[in-house]
Chains A and B, each alone.
Chain A
Amino acid sequence: MAENLLEICDLTITPAGSTTAVLEGVSLTLAPGERVGLIGESGSGKSLTAQSIMGLLPEELNASGTVTLDGFSGNVLAAREKTLARVRSKLVSMVFQEPMSALNPLMRIGDQIAEALRIHGETQRPRMRGRVLQLLHDVHMPSPESARLAYPHQLSGGQRQRVMLAIALANSPRLLICDEPTTALDVTVQRHMLDLIAERVATVRAGLLFITHDLAVVAGVCDRVIVMHSGRIVETGSVREIFANPQHEYTRGLLASSDLESTDADGKLYTLRTALAYSGPTTSATASAASAAHTSAPASAAPTSAETKPSGNRAAATAPSAEGLGAPLIEVSGVSKLYRSGGLLRRKAPVQALEDISFSVHAGRRLGIVGESGSGKTTLLGILSGLDRPTTGHVRVGDVRVDTASSQALRSLRENLQFVFQDPFSSLDPRMRVEDIVAEPLVAQGMAREERRAKVADMLAAVDIDTASMRRYPHQFSGGQRQRISIARALVTRPQILVADEPVSALDVSVRAQVLNLLTDLVDEYALTLLFVSHDLGVVKHLCSEVIVMKDGHIVEAGATDAVYSDPQQDYTRDLIAATPSLAAALEAAR
């Protein structure tokens, strides 16, 4: 008992008024200073496990079993709120997923950090200020003095997460729990945050329980991994054991479907179903590709570098093989977008959302648009679809001049260009039946009811949704199924162009692979031109033939996907590729 920092024994959690447990018989231990990764998809119970340790479980859940912490007498699950409050932050602390909402919007950063110190006994005001500054400094906050006086909305997501870490470590706890601390961050920011967590935990010699859905992330931070699935622990082992030789079929499936570098005999991504054939990340090939990306010797990628000579910010994403296809289907030239905000009396500096964007896409091509938040991806899509007009520049899609089109012309454009959005939970009207959702674009066309119904049934079958469930409502489907329904709705009018805006970012890894495979099939089958927007380079690399890298409203780099990935010309692209967590690199590091 005294040897372990944390012991969870037979933890079972049941919602009030229900007999089915959401967490069942979970037992785990964590030694002092040990760094353990808790891996699982949504609904696996990993966050509930973490909340149990903090005594922060929602009231409507009943927990049984024991949770003991070294330094706390008794069972955390049975302790009173008052007793627990003294332990939190002092003995065990937590960093949460959502940096945007985890800080009080009405309170200065410094005060929020100071509060954590004050609660646990620090009272001297002059000393307090110094300690707050020290804590901000420790998490490498740029200009701690001004950050101390800032309000949360004045900081970026990454900076807020640093503040959360500063708060969590303020009282030098013996155990730090991180619940998906980097999931909401951009990849380059994620890299820094992960390094920072590892560094701080080592400095204060705390134990770490790191919760994530992302296998590649966990490998860099943890020694040991616990895999959870549907409320149970399915496998435990060192990072190397789990990655190289997974025993449980779920672990194997998870590993296989998060590997976007490997494909099965049919060229498909592995899913939970096909995971048996998966033989682990292809380390040698990808490792050399990764190192090539680092050194980026232009000579090593001679055959491809010719096509990707970006002249400043302008570059055509036209691959050479498309030259014989005639005029491109989509042509964007010199597009800029300025946002002027202001009301009755105020004038603000205009925001340059896009600057001099030019590219073209030929029919049947798959273009990936990669960029972090604020890069202008969303603005660009708005302009492409005619929802927004550019300040300067021209956009042509098919034979429609989008930037000057009449609303009549835009209507015909929208039949030809359809969207799939990121969030499968909010992009479907919860009060409409699935068949009506999918039929809606056809209603807009004025198609007769019978014909509509037949088309909808065909389309749902094509995305693997059982047509018997057509009359159900969106909430009766899982996230992956809803995203399929979104795809069906987009394709039912048989558009030429499909625009997918982060369509798999909100999905679990195992579901992501299935949806990506489906998307690949449909793009082939319907001869679609695909515009695929994502922050995830791995997904784009798998799916797209050409890629545009965007940053701060500019195109940083453009070209054929293979060429850009194997031989990036710009520092930003290099950083982006290096920061993207990959299984192969993670396994390499674990060796």
Chain B
Amino acid sequence: MPVYLLSRAAQFAVALFVASVVIFAMMSFLPGNAAQVALGTNATPEAVAALEARYGLDEPPLTRYLQWVGGMLGGDFGTSYVTGAPITPVIMNSVQVTAILVVCSIVLAVVIAVPLGTFAALEQRNWIGMTISALSQVGIAVPNFLAAIILVMIFSLGLGWFPSQGWMAPIEGVGGFLARLVLPVVSLALVQAAILTRYVRSAVLDVMREDYIRTARAKGLTRTRALFVHGLRNAAIPVITVAGVQLATLLVGAVIIEQVFVIPGIGSELVRAVANRDLVTVQGIVMVLVMLVLVINLIVDLLYPIVDPRIRSAA
């Protein structure tokens, strides 16, 4: 078990290192350096050279890479060439916002999808089961920004229950924070829940066909009880995998929803940095996103042995 943890941690570290190299290389070796990009095509060579000297861009790539990585390890993502301000606070604030949004969405999606998918599997021959399957099919086809617009039209413009846009940090007021959280979270969660429902349904259907469910029924459990006692934990393994992938997709995928609801998340920050031609900020944000995705994968990997003793003893 400790070996399993160590090897997963090592994989995580290696992946992070490779990602940092790739990101740095892409940003550094694109035609035109960061100073050139920041100042635009009309800048004089002298101005570019001055900016390069100011931020150390004339140093060799290896030195710059080590400076960048060293800074990040110490919690400093560098300084924006465009605004001249440190990047770290910007990234940290926007990551917090996105994390709240995304975690709430995936939790809501799981809470909706697990009972619904299980029910759809148990009632697969009834009209209820078929209706759930059909609805989840439709849900997958709806892009989340469309869901967002419809939700805003109904609950914000129509009923006036929630604000149509904006963001408030929890410390500024819990009520306002929650009110602004509901619509974006629901619009993100609905689509994810629809996808997850299908996976839960098919995982449960697979499990129901397993021999150990039959054994459990032969022991004297009813079909439904057998599923709850023996089936769901077995079905959890494929569902955890999918939920992990969804969470990672949501991190970046939230960018559209953040735009629709004008939320200062990391997606919005990334869009702004690209628009401002602020390469250093883009580089920092992408690195943070990659790290978060890797952390999610690490958590998923660590969940498997908890659920499945076979993985525990293979480890």
A residues bordering B, Cβ < 8 Å? 54, 56, 59, 81-82, 85-90, 93-94, 96, 98, 101-107, 115-116, 119-120, 151, 153-154, 164, 167-168, 170-171, 343-346
* Interface positions of B (Cβ within 8 A of A): 3, 6-7, 10-11, 125, 210-212, 214-223, 225, 229-230, 233-234, 307-310, 313, 315
In the complex, how many angstroms separate the beta carbon of B69 from the nearest chain A beta carbon? 22
Q: Are A345 and B7 in contact (CB under 8 A)?
A: yes
**A106-B234, A345-B6, A345-B7 as given contacts; A54 in contact with B218, CB under 8 Å:** yes
Q: How far is A314 from B313 in the complex, measured between Cα atoms in Å?
A: 36
On whether A102 and B310 interact (CB within 8 A), knowing A94-B218, A120-B220, A346-B3, the answer reads no
Q: Complex Cα distance A167/B212, Å?
A: 12
A151-B307 contact, Cβ under 8 Å, with A105-B234, A119-B221, A168-B218: no
5 A-B Cβ contacts within 8 A?
Answer: A56-B214, A82-B222, A85-B217, A94-B218, A164-B215
Question: Whose C-beta in chain B lies nearest to the C-beta of A171?
Answer: B220
CA A86 to CA B225, docked complex, whole Å = 13
Question: Are the C-beta atoms of A115 and B229 separated by less than 8 Å?
Answer: yes
A90 to B307, CA, bound (A): 31
Task: Report A-chain residues with C-beta under 8 Å of the C-beta of B11.
Answer: 344
Instruction: State the total of A-B contacts with C-beta under 8 angstroms.
Output: 90
Contact A154 B218 (CB under 8 A): no
Which secondary structure dominates chain B's binding surface? Answer: helix
- Which of A85, A104, A170, A345 interacts with B212 by CB under 8 Å? A104
How far apart are B166's CB and chain A's nearest CB, in angstroms?
46
Q: What's the minimum C-beta distance from A16 to chain B, rounded to whole angstroms?
A: 10
Chain A residues whose C-beta falls within 8 Å of the C-beta of B233 in the assembled complex: 106
Q: How far is the CA of A106 from the CA of B307 in the complex (A)?
A: 7
A151:B210 contact, CB within 8 angstroms: no
A56 touches B218 (CB 8 A): yes
**Interfacial chain B residues near A81, Cβ < 8 Å:** 222-223
Tell me the nearest residue of chain B to A168, going by C-beta.
Answer: B218
Asked if A85 contacts B7 (CB within 8 A), the reply is: no
A85 to B221, CA, bound (A): 6
Q: Could you tell me if A151 and B218 are in contact, using CB atoms closer than 8 angstroms?
A: no
* Cβ-defined contact, A89 with B223, below 8 A: no
Contact A106 B6, CB 8 Å, known A88-B219, A153-B313: no
Q: Identify B310's interface contact among A56, A105, A115, CB under 8 A.
A: A105
Q: Which residue of B lies closest to A167 (CB)?
A: B219
Interchain nearest-CB distance for B287 vs A (Å): 24
Known: A81-B223, A98-B211. A93 touches B218 (CB 8 A): yes
Whether B7 contacts A344 by the Cβ 8 Å rule is yes
Nearest-neighbour CB distance to chain A for B70, whole angstroms, equals 26
* Chain B residues with CB under 8 A of A105: 212, 234, 308-310
A88-B217, A343-B7, A345-B10 given; A103·B223 CB < 8 A: no
How distant is A98 from chain B, measured CB to nearest CB, in Å?
Answer: 6
Shortest CB-to-CB span from A211 to chain B, Å, is 14
The closest CB in chain B to the CB of A93 belongs to B218
Bound together, the chains give a CA A359 to CA B308 distance in angstroms of 43
> Which of A59, A89, A106 touches B219 (beta carbons < 8 Å)?
A89
Q: How many whole Å from B128's CB to the nearest CB in chain A?
A: 16
Min CB gap B224→A, angstroms:
8
A163 to B229, CA, bound (A): 19
If A104-B234, A106-B308, A151-B313 touch, whether A119 touches B219 (CB-CB below 8 Å) is yes
Whether B308 pairs with A85 at a CB distance below 8 angstroms is no
A56 to B211, CA, bound (A): 12
Closest 6 CB pairs of A and B: A101-B211, A119-B220, A116-B219, A104-B212, A345-B7, A89-B220
Chain A: CB-nearest residue to B224? A81
Query: Closest approach, in angstroms, between the C-beta of B93 and any C-beta of chain A?
Result: 37
CB distance from A351 to the nearest CB of B (A): 14
Q: How distant is B53 from chain A, measured CB to nearest CB, in Å?
A: 43
Question: Once bound together, how far apart are the Cα atoms of A345 and B315, in whole Å?
Answer: 11
Q: Known contacts A98-B211, A153-B310: does B6 contact A104 (CB below 8 Å)?
A: no
Chain A residues positioned under 8 Å from B7 (CB to CB): 343-346
Given contacts A90-B220, A102-B214, 16 further A-B contacts (CB under 8 A): A59-B125, A85-B221, A86-B220, A89-B218, A101-B210, A101-B212, A104-B234, A105-B212, A106-B234, A115-B221, A119-B219, A119-B221, A170-B219, A344-B10, A346-B7, A346-B315
A131 to B63, CA, bound (A): 70
Contact A96 B221 (CB under 8 A): no
Residues on A with beta carbons closer than 8 Å to the beta carbon of B211:
96, 98, 101-102
Q: Report chain A residues within 8 Å CB of B216.
A: 104, 115
For B214, list chain A residues within 8 Å (CB).
56, 96, 102
On whether the beta carbons of B220 and A85 are closer than 8 Å, the reply is: yes
Minimal Cβ-Cβ distance residue in B for A344? B7
Q: Which residues of B are found within 8 Å of A85, using beta-carbon distances? A: 217, 220-222, 225
Once the chains bind, are B310 and A104 in contact (CB under 8 Å)?
no
Q: Point out the residues of chain B lying under 8 angstroms from A106, CB to CB.
A: 233-234, 307-309
Contact residue among B210, B220, B230 (Cβ-Cβ distance under 8 Å from A88): B220
Check A102–B220 contact: CB distance below 8 A.
Answer: no
